[in-house]
Structure 1
Amino acid sequence: MKSLKYIIAFSLTLPLGACEKLLDVQPKSAISDTQTIVDKASAETALRGVYSALADGSYYGTGFQSIGYLSGDNVQWTGSQSQVQEFINHKVNADNATISSAWTAIYRTINRANNVLAKVPQVATNVTFSETLRNQIIGEAYFIRALAYFDLARTWGGVPIITNPTQSPTENWNIPKSTAAETYAQVIADLDLAEPLLPETTNRFQATRKTVWALKARYFLYQQDYAKAEEYASKLIGDAANYQLLKPYNAFFANNARGTQESVFEIFYSATETNAHRNQWQPQTNGGTRQWAPNSTLVDLLNNPLTGGSRSALIAKDNQNRWYGNLYYRSPATDPSFVIRVAELYLIRAEARAQQGNITGALADLNAVRDRAELLPLEAFTTEEILLAIENEHRLEFAFEPHRWYDLVRTGRAQEVLQVTDTKRLVMPIPAEQLLIDPGLTQNDGY
């Protein structure tokens, strides 16, 4: 296949295992998509294909998420894959395999969502396929497409915006990059479309209206619309019957936990569809490779009772006295990938309140997260001091989740904290292979 960014819609008619096999086959423009989604069963199969793409090893299964934590200052490279060191050094090359595979996986997800959005509205409703169910499927596809464009925008800046399904190898070529602002505009447009279509229920593995609210809180924080960020974060924080900061800290992941009240949206994996995260973090004695590991600074912070508290559960030592990350540990590797946790919403609201001058409210949210980690509350701060405290708390709360790099970039702190001397490196390069394939693409400045 010339480019997995351009996947024919026909793949959505197959079972999930067959979907992945088809992706290795050269697409043929003669294959028709007119019968791909024709009833309730095929619509639901197509939606499962969208979630399967989201869970792919190159997207939330490891690749994309690793960009967020490897590019920060919590992780050291210990293995043989030199491309990992490019993230740690903040000198990522356009031929970096992780960058290429993540780009491909995200656009694959978008294409599958586009197929659902193009076809499901045309399916007639009946006794078994109600309008409510049809709207829910459409709403979930809009949400996932919004998440995908959000991840593209915060990683690469402006990207080509494709909202129609790709049905042949050369379709949707020569679409120029949009600006970062235009890409983010696509995100909020999709979220606005998803919100009224989805039920206001609690589901930690599928998109609901509450999941939309959570992503909107993150989106508005990135856009520095702090009043809106606070508003949407409060919707879930206020739903204490369904969303809570669990004690102890490791309650959301230890002892094979999944789908706890801590979780807003996480991705489910099974023994047949595993999560590749575990292999990268666990040491050889546990059947992993320990390709990357917590660095000494993070180890000190997590083990310090004044900063880490019960978050020291994130790390452990192997039989050679080496520290390793223990967020992903299950065998077989059925660990969830956490997309949004309620702790993030507390810290989003804390930051939003601080930016609006509500120091008391910001401290309350920050200290709620600290209390869950068995840390003493912090006292009154200036705005600058509490923003730094929130940044530091965020670093440890999500030490092995894809937040640190993106948080420092969006706040303008990456240059100082990570010593990124070339500001053009605050976005990743467009994959070199995509530039060779698509003449409409241009490389980001500085690469």
Structure 2
Amino acid sequence: MRVKQPILLLLFLLTFSSCRDFLDVKPLESISDTETITNQNSALTALRGVYSALGDGGYYGTSFQSIGYLSGDNVQWTGSQSQVQEFINKKVNADNSTISSAWIAIYRTINRANNVLAKVPTVTDPSFTTAQKNQYVGEAYAIRALAYFDLARTFGGVPIITSPTEKPTDNSGIKRSTQADTYAQVLKDLDAAEPLLPTTVDRYRVTQRTVFALKARFYLYQKNYAKAEEYATKLISDATNYRLVKPYGAFFQSDARGTAESVFEIFYNGTTEVNSHRGQWQPQTNGGTRQWAPNDALVALLNNPAIGGNRSVLVAKDNQNRWYGNLYYRNPASDPSYIFRIAEAYLIRAEARAQQDKLPDALTDLNAVRDRAGLTALTATTTPTKDAVLLAIENERRVEFALEPHRWFDIVRTGRASAVFNLSDANRYVLPIPVQQLLTDKALEQNPGY
């Protein structure tokens, strides 16, 4: 993948100067991606760089996540920047700055993971144990899998790059793979990661349990419902470590982080690393811009006791009586980004079971999420058919993950975009390849319809 020189510098010259509390090592300043990994300490620094890229503002820090919820039907744009409104209108153009930012940030994450994968196995530091090497490599595989999964569901097929980009001529001229081949790379990486990782619980760092979560989501997207159920069950059955905390707001309110709700979240310290989501959601009186706000439909759903239940804590009113989203609220901006919560495992398993005609079991999982929200249980009387159960799950996911990046991808993957979004042009179910990438690498081809 050839990119403009400033972007290339980001890909292979960025230093790993930020500090993650959950990776217990001080940063090594001004070390390039091409020279970092010579011993155990520098290997850990390089791995920290992978996590830092994952939490970057272009990826799970803001831009990529915003694609997932701005493109849905829960959020309105209150500002004047037309490129954000493109997501609301479902008419994203190739020169959109958000998709460009996300593309660059995701490939930066892949490049850093590739660096770890290429170099960690060759380190001869006697203090660097085989178990540590396996863990670092497993983490890099899993994060690279997540990155390609996000690319595939957003853009379709993309260039698959599995070696580090160390100079401008590396990895240029690589054509796009198909979406199916890109998803195949995701599974290959997850399969490679799973046996290398520890079985411990760590909500900020990839473990074998994180891979279970990513595989459950992956198989749901692939419509392999038996495997989706299997991997979701691996998490749900570990009730000692993963459970739906009550009430709903307990996983994020009162500065909570790393609760039993969380399978994998990104840590921000609020000083050297901030989650810029906060500024977009909070109103001016709280030091934000409120440029993203819950729309009237979502506010009505969340405040309906029979639908939102205690999830109404996701929204609040400012001093001008305007609703704003309150998932990201901390000052300084140290709110976690939630990549996978145990609620998703329940709803994945509910959907997978419904698709396999296990309707009573599907309702049990769905009702676990509803119970946490303070809602009454659905029954075979209220939801008597497979279609009714699947629609109830879809509606529950809309409210449960109201301000998280699921809604757009959920409706597209289930083939419901025409009915729900009135979007009949199937070309718009994936986004355009950013125009900057097309201009700088002639091997890339644009998606149809753009």
- Per the TM superposition, whether the score is higher than 0.5 is yes
> Structure 2 CA distance, aligned partners of 1:277 and 1:434?
26
> Structure 2 CA distance, aligned partners of 1:193 and 1:141?
10
For 1:20-419, list aligned pairs within 5 A: 33=34, 35-126=35-126, 128-272=127-271, 273-380=273-380, 381-419=384-422
* TM-score between both structures, scaled by the size of structure 2: 0.94
Letter aligned with residue 134 of structure 2: N
Q: What does the per-residue CA deviation read over 1:54-87, in whole Å, with 9 as the maximum and x for residues that have no partner? A: 0000100010000000000000110122111100
Structure 1 residues 150 and 239, CA gap change in structure 2 (3 angstroms)? same
Q: Report the alpha carbon displacement of residue 276 of structure 1 after superposing the two structures with TM.
A: 0.3
Contact persistence 1:237–1:244 (CA under 8 A): yes
> Structure 2 CA distance, aligned partners of 1:78 and 1:16?
32
> Structure 2 CA distance, aligned partners of 1:73 and 1:13?
38
Contact persistence 1:6–1:172 (CA under 8 A): no
Helix, strand or coil for the counterpart of 1:16? coil
Q: Report the alpha carbon displacement of residue 422 of structure 1 after superposing the two structures with TM.
A: 1.3
* TM-score between both structures, scaled by the size of structure 1: 0.95
Contact persistence 2:17–2:29 (CA under 8 A): no
> Structure 1 CA distance, aligned partners of 2:281 and 2:218?
29
Q: Report the alpha carbon displacement of residue 32 of structure 1 after superposing the two structures with TM.
A: 9.6
Q: Report the alpha carbon displacement of residue 129 of structure 1 after superposing the two structures with TM.
A: 1.4
Q: Does 1:15 align with 2:6?
A: no
Q: What does the per-residue CA deviation read over 1:9-49, in whole Å, with 9 as the maximum and x for residues that have no partner? A: 764765338999989xxxxxxx993x431100100000000
Q: Report the alpha carbon displacement of residue 391 of structure 1 after superposing the two structures with TM.
A: 0.1
Helix, strand or coil for the counterpart of 1:280? helix
Query: Structure 1: which 5+ residue stretches go unaligned?
Result: 24-30
> Structure 1 CA distance, aligned partners of 2:13 and 2:5?
15
> Structure 2 CA distance, aligned partners of 1:433 and 1:392?
37
Q: Report the alpha carbon displacement of residue 169 of structure 1 after superposing the two structures with TM.
A: 1.3
Structure 1 residues 398 and 9, CA gap change in structure 2 (3 angstroms)? closer
Moved more, 5-14 or 171-180: 5-14
> Structure 2 CA distance, aligned partners of 1:300 and 1:121?
54
> Structure 2 CA distance, aligned partners of 1:4 and 1:143?
27
> Structure 2 CA distance, aligned partners of 1:83 and 1:262?
34
Q: What does the per-residue CA deviation read over 1:60-118, in whole Å, with 9 as the maximum and x for residues that have no partner? A: 00100000000000001101221111000000000000000000000000000000000
Q: What does the per-residue CA deviation read over 1:268-295, in whole Å, with 9 as the maximum and x for residues that have no partner? A: 0012210000000000000000011000
Contact persistence 1:5–1:108 (CA under 8 A): no
Contact persistence 1:4–1:108 (CA under 8 A): no
Cα RMSD after superposing both structures: 1.9
> Structure 1 CA distance, aligned partners of 2:245 and 2:28?
36
Contact persistence 1:9–1:165 (CA under 8 A): no
> Structure 2 CA distance, aligned partners of 1:391 and 1:132?
41
> Structure 2 CA distance, aligned partners of 1:402 and 1:426?
15
> Structure 1 CA distance, aligned partners of 2:30 and 2:420?
44
Query: Structure 2: which 5+ residue stretches go unaligned?
Result: 20-25
Paired position in structure 2 for 1:2: 4
- How many matched pairs? 438
Contact persistence 1:12–1:46 (CA under 8 A): no
Letter aligned with residue 81 of structure 2: Q
